[in-house]
């Protein structure tokens, strides 16, 4: 009982409830939602796997975004950085029809992630060093980024025929799960490790709550903010790898389109306040998975295309309301008024 | 910090490399077109003022190239103006064409409205105007002599008719039940192209003798992109993996995404599921050569020859249809290998 109480009051409780509600809804209304089977070539196949596979790039993005938001900043350039990273990896490997890469894939992958980091460093410089407002600073790359990606791909969609490239998002032969899940898990573990073993988390949080006080207590505020944006760039770079590998192509116009908004939403659903300060990595991860589950649900239920945004919006509003403190208070009051007279026994038991 | 600097230097070098690679190949693709030749009749060379909306996509580039090439082949002197995606530039260009006294004006309207005044000026100067590719909304339709463009409804019809013929010819049996189950990947919600293609497909299905053999199982937007096409197809397959017979993707990119989803589901695209899409981009031809798709219906940017022909007819005083559609071919997989080298976009 003590454990349960601890759990219900923990920060992860509400995001988990929201996700659980969605999953239960799916399990009831969508045929074979929980069904997972093993294909002939030894891969797990099913909607749940799809959700994990497709949400992993958003999970990674939201990791970086969580830190940025915790310093009371915001990074709206991540979607464009995803497009840049996708363009870099595909131009490096090259779109040769015979499936021979122009550069080794490892080099291409490093270059793509590197390009993400460079973008992050640029954002970090603007925000931390030159003190430009985060929205404005990252807006620059948000608008310019797709142009840069277009330049690299010469306005074309580069399709990569090199087989191993599809392993990034697909399954490496012999594995039963898509690689994306491992990549996302590794990133999450890395972040958790940094949180547990170093005081970076504490620094980020204190910068978000009060940068001036943090500076006086000896924290290098500029460096912390700079690193946070660089990390967000890194995450976007990795995410771009996954996004391009999913379709085995670099589509500069559409890769990562509107993903920055989804990432911000994931962080918000996870319980981190946009005003900065306390942040919840686990919450963001669950938030990202929730968003993808929602999309999959819509397709599974066959919501028609023109109603899709509306239905999705209603679901998001509902999820936000479930998690809102004020709503909970109102609900508690309502419960207190209506429940108490009905169950005097239960009350007595609780007292005893 | 020193290491960080090294890393930075490495990355910058990397970026430069990419930029350099990007500059490398831009050799023109000037393969000969089979445009209607025969130089301008009547001795005097015709001058045409043409305003293009500006670079936008490969498709648009092919459109521009086609018009330039066709003008050369037809012996028409083309005054080309690039509007850089601005209507005011187009209006300026049309005014300058009028001032120059060109014989005929053609333009691709960037937006539908706002053309009345400038086209009235052209009419007053007795210069015929031809609208190319996109639509205009005018109070007075006599301000232009002809519209040349693609017909999305016809494209949709062709898709259905081809499928109907193909299924009969191949003697394919429905994978379950006694109807062919069709899934549709729609384009961007509300775009005229998506609406037209869908209407054409459904009209043809309703009109066909054996239309009742087909059942639209699911239809969802893939927003004309590979990512969404793949994601939506993945979901279709989870619900009805063993039922889907036919995939109709409203553009090639969505079909290319869907092909990967079908493969991941352990089915053979092009065999287990018959795939047909619209546009005719190179990537689709590649997929058809590999046997992963069955057919693409062209959405033709090569409007140059028809434009020149129409212009000549107008100037010779012949009557032309107010709406002229370019020929749009159907390219099944068996001609893909032969056709690919000739494809311009």
Q: What is the pLDDT of residues B119-158, one digit of tens each?
A: 999 999 999 999 998 888 888 889 999 999 889 899 999 9
Chain B nearest-CA distance from A323, in A, is 29
Residue in chain A nearest B26 by alpha carbon: A154
Cβ of A248 under 8 Å from any chain B Cβ? yes
Question: Would the CB atoms of B190 and A306 count as touching at under 8 Å?
Answer: yes
Q: What is the pLDDT of residue A282?
A: 94
At B306 the three-state DSSP class reads helix
Interface of A with B in 67-126 (CB under 8 A): 88, 91-92, 97, 111, 114-115, 117-118, 121
Nearest chain A Cα to B191, which residue?
A306
A to B CB pairs, distance under 8 Å: 105
Nearest 5 degrees, angle CA B156-CA B160-CA B166? Answer: 140
Of A47, A155, A247, the CB nearest to B227: A247
Judge: A155–B55 Cβ closer than 8 Å, yes or no.
yes
- For chain B, how big is the Rg over CA atoms in Å? 23
Q: What is the pLDDT of residue B13?
A: 53
B62-90 burial: b if 16+ Cβ within 10 Å, else e: bbbbbbebbbbbbebebbebebeeebebb
The span from the CA of B172 to the CA of B177, in Å, is: 13
Per-residue pLDDT at B38: 39
Asked if B44 contacts B9 with a C-beta cutoff of 8 angstroms, the reply is no
- CA–CA separation, A141 and B341 (whole Å): 38
> Which chain A residues are Cβ-neighbours of B235 within 8 angstroms?
47, 50, 296, 299-300
Does position B29 have pLDDT exceeding 80, yes or no?
A: no
CB under 8 Å to B197, separation ≥6 — which residues? Answer: B152, B153, B155, B156, B159, B187, B250, B278
Interface of A with B in 292-351 (CB under 8 A): 295-296, 299-300, 302, 304-306, 308
B214-221 and B180-186 beta bridge pairing: parallel
Q: Which residue among A92, A159, A299 places its CB closest to the CB of B220? A: A299
Residues of chain A with Cβ-Cβ distance to B219 below 8 Å are 304-305
Confidence of residue B16 (pLDDT cuts 50, 70, 90): low
Set of chain A residues whose Cβ sits within 8 Å of the Cβ of B57 = 155
Q: Do A155 and B253 touch (CB under 8 A)?
A: no
Task: Name the minimum distance, in Å, from the CA of A11 to any CA of chain B.
Answer: 32
- Residues linked to residue B221 through DSSP beta bridges, in sequence order: B186
Which residue of A lies nearest to B11 if distances are taken between CA atoms? A114
**Which residue in A256, A202, A315 sits closest to A80, CA to CA?**
A256
Contact B58 A170 (CB under 8 A): no
Answer with the residue of higher pLDDT: A352 or B314: B314
Enclosing H/E stretch for B88: helix B87-100
Rounded CA-CA distance A181/A179 in Å is 5
Between the alpha carbon of residue A341 and those of residues A330, A333, A351, B194, the distances in Å are: 18, 13, 15, 59
Q: Please check whether residue A287 is in contact with residue A322, taking contact to mean a CB–CB distance below 8 angstroms.
A: no
> Chain B contacts of A304, Cβ < 8 Å?
219-220
> Are the C-beta atoms of B141 and B116 separated by less than 8 Å?
no
pLDDT band at B55 (very low <50, low <70, confident <90, very high): low
- pLDDT < 50: residue spans in chain A: 344, 346-349, 351-352
Tokens matching residue A122: 């640029």
**A195 Cβ under 8 Å from any chain B Cβ:** no
> In the prediction, which pLDDT does A340 show?
61
Distance of CA A272 to the CA centre of its chain: 13
Q: How far is A247 from chain B (nearest CA, A)?
A: 6
Cα–chain center distance at B226: 16
Do B221 and A308 count as a contact with CB atoms less than 8 A apart? yes
pLDDT one-digit tens code per residue, B248-261: 999 999 999 999 99
Summary mean pLDDT of chain B: 85
pLDDT for residue B18 is more than 70: no
Within a 13 Å sphere around the CA of B66, how many CA atoms are in the beta-carbon half? 24
Mapping DSSP onto H, E and C, the string for B138-165 reads CCCHHHCCEEEECCHHHHHHHHHHHHHH
Residues B201-232: pLDDT tens digits?
A: 999 999 998 889 999 999 999 988 899 999 99
- Measured in angstroms, the CA of B262 and the nearest CA of chain A are apart by 12
Confidence of residue B28 (pLDDT cuts 50, 70, 90): very low
Cβ-based neighbours of B198, under 8 Å, separated by 6 or more: B156, B184, B186, B219, B250
- Taking an 8 Å Cβ-Cβ cutoff, which residues of chain B contact chain A? 7-8, 10-12, 14-15, 18-19, 21-22, 55, 57-58, 186, 189-190, 218-221, 223, 225-228, 230-232, 234-236, 238-239, 253, 256-257, 260, 264-266, 283, 286
| Chain B, nearest residue to A223 by Cα | B1
Q: Do A247 and B256 touch (CB under 8 A)?
A: yes
Give a three-class secondary structure readout of B218-234: EEEECCCCHHHHHHHHH
User: Quick one: closest CA in B to A122, which residue?
Assistant: B8
What's the pLDDT at B339?
83
Please name each of the domains of chain B with its CATH number: 47-150+301-328 (3.40.50.2300), 152-298 (3.40.50.2300)
**Contact partners, residue A122, CB within 8 Å, separation at least 6:** A141, A233
pLDDT-derived band at B319 (thresholds 50, 70, 90) equals: confident
In A, residues 251-270, which contact B (CB 8 Å cutoff)? 251, 253-255, 257
| CA angle centred on B63, ends B62 and B66, rounded to 5° | 80
Do residues B29 and B64 make contact, with C-beta atoms less than 8 angstroms apart? no
Cross-chain CB nearest to B283 (options A50, A154, A157): A157
Compute the average pLDDT of residues B17-29: 41
Q: Helix A221-247 vs helix A105-124: angle between axes, to the nearest 10 degrees?
A: 140
Instruction: Looking at the complex, report in whole angstroms how far the Cα of residue B307 sits from the nearest Cα belonging to chain A.
Output: 26
Q: Nearest-CA residue of chain B relative to A178?
A: B264
The torsion angle over the Cα atoms of residues B164, B167, B170 and B174, rounded to 10 degrees, is -170
Query: What's the number of CA atoms in the CB half-sphere (13 Å) around residue A127?
Result: 34
Closest by CA to B284, choosing from B73, B107, B119, B59, is B59
Does the beta-carbon distance from A296 to B221 stay under 8 Å? no
Looking at the partner chain, which of B8, B238, B257 has a beta carbon nearest the beta carbon of A50?
A: B238
The nearest CA of chain B is from the CA of A114 a distance in Å of: 6
Q: Which residue has the higher pLDDT, B19 or B89?
A: B89
Look at residue B325 and give its three-state secondary structure. strand
The candidate with the shortest Cα–Cα distance to A278, out of A67, A14, A8, is A67
Question: Does residue A57 belong to the interface with chain B, where contact is any CB pair within 8 Å?
Answer: no
Q: What pLDDT score does A352 carry?
A: 45
* DSSP bridge pairs for A249: A159
Helix (H, G, I), strand (E, B) or coil at A329: helix
Contacts 24+ apart (CB under 8 A), B161-166: B161/B204, B161/B208, B162/B276, B162/B295, B162/B297, B162/B330, B162/B332, B163/B246, B163/B248, B163/B274, B163/B276, B164/B208, B164/B210, B164/B214, B166/B274, B166/B294, B166/B295, B166/B332
The per-residue pLDDT for A327 is: 82
Q: Give the other-Cβ count within 10 Å of B61's Cβ.
A: 18
Look at B22 and A117 and tell me if their CB atoms are within 8 Å.
no
- ipTM comes to 0.85
**Strands of the B244-249 sheet, one edge to the other:** B214-221, B180-186, B244-249, B274-279, B295-298, B330-332
Chain B touched by A50 (CB under 8 Å): yes
- DSSP-assigned letter for residue A128: I
Residue numbers in A near B260 (CB within 8 A): 166, 247-248
**pLDDT tens for residues B162-172?**
999 999 999 88
Determine the pLDDT at residue A43: 86
CA B278 to chain centre: 8
| Cα–Cα distance, B33 to B35 (Å, whole number) | 5
| Residue A215, token pair as written in the block | 């500076």
């Amino acid at each position: 009982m003590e454990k349960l109480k601890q759990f219900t009051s923990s920060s992860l409780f509400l995001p988990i409830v929201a996700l659980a509600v969605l999953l239960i809804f799916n399990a009831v209304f969508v045929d074979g939602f929980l069904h997972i089977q093993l294909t002939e070539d030894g891969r797990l196949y099913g909607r749940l796997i799809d959700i994990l596979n497709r949400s992993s790039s958003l999970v990674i993005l939201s990791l970086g975004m969580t830190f940025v938001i915790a310093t009371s900043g915001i990074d709206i350039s991540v979607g464009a950085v995803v497009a840049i990273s996708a363009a870099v990896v595909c131009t490096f490997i090259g779109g040769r029809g015979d499936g021979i890469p122009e550069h080794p894939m490892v080099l291409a992958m490093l270059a793509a992630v590197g390009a993400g980091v460079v973008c992050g460093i640029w954002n970090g410089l603007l925000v931390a060093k030159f003190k430009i407002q985060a929205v404005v600073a990252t807006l620059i790359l948000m608008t310019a980024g797709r142009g840069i990606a277009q330049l690299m791909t010469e306005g074309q969609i580069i399709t990569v025929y090199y087989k191993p490239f599809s392993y990034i998002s697909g399954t490496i032969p012999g594995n039963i799960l898509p690689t994306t899940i491992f990549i996302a898990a590794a990133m999450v573990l890395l972040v958790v490790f940094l949180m547990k073993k170093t005081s970076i988390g504490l620094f980020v949080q204190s910068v978000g709550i009060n940068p001036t006080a943090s500076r006086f207590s000896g924290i290098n505020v500029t460096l912390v903010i700079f690193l946070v944006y660089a990390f967000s760039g890194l995450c976007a770079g990795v995410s771009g790898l996954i996004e391009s590998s999913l379709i085995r192509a670099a589509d500069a116009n559409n890769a990562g389109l509107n993903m920055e908004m989804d990432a911000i939403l994931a962080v918000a659903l996870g319980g981190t306040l946009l005003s900065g300060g306390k942040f919840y990595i686990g919450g963001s991860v669950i938030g990202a998975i929730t968003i993808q589950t929602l999309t999959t649900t819509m397709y599974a239920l066959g919501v028609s295309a023109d109603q899709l945004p509306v239905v999705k919006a209603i679901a998001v509003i509902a999820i936000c309301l479930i998690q809102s403190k004020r709503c909970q208070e109102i609900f508690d009051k309502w419960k207190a008024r209506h429940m108490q007279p009905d169950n005097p026994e239960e009350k007595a038991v609780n007292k005893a | 910090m020193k290491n960080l600097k090294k890393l930075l230097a490495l990355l910058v070098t990397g970026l430069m490399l990419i930029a350099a690679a990007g500059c490398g190949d831009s050799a023109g693709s000037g393969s000969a077109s089979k445009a209607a030749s025969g130089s301008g009749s009547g001795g005097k060379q015709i001058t045409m003022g043409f305003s293009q909306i500006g670079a936008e996509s490969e498709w648009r580039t092919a459109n521009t190239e086609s018009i330039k090439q066709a003008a050369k082949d037809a012996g028409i002197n083309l005054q080309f103006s690039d509007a850089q995606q601005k209507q005011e530039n187009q209006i300026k260009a049309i005014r300058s064409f009028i001032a120059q006294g060109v014989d005929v004006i053609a333009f691709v309207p960037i937006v539908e409205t706002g053309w009345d005044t400038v086209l009235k000026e052209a009419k007053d100067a007795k210069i015929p105007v031809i609208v190319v590719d996109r639509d205009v909304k005018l109070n007075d339709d006599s301000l232009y002599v002809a519209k040349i463009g693609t017909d999305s409804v016809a494209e949709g019809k062709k898709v259905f008719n081809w499928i109907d013929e193909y299924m009969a010819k191949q003697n394919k049996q429905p994978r379950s039940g006694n109807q062919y189950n069709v899934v549709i990947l729609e384009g961007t919600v509300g775009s005229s192209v998506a609406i037209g293609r869908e209407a054409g497909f459904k009209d043809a299905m309703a009109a066909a003798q054996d239309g009742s053999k087909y059942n639209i199982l699911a239809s969802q937007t893939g927003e004309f992109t590979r990512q969404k096409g793949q994601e939506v197809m993945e979901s279709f397959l989870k619900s009805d993996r063993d039922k889907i017979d036919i995939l109709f993707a409203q553009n090639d990119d969505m079909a290319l995404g869907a092909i990967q989803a079908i493969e991941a589901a352990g089915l053979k695209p092009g065999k287990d599921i018959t795939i047909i899409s619209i546009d005719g981009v190179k990537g689709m031809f590649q997929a058809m050569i590999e046997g992963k798709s069955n057919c693409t219906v062209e959405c033709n940017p090569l409007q140059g020859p028809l434009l020149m022909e129409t212009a000549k007819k107008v100037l010779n005083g012949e009557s032309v249809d107010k709406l002229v559609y370019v020929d749009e071919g159907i390219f099944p997989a068996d001609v893909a290998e032969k056709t690919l080298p000739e494809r311009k976009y």
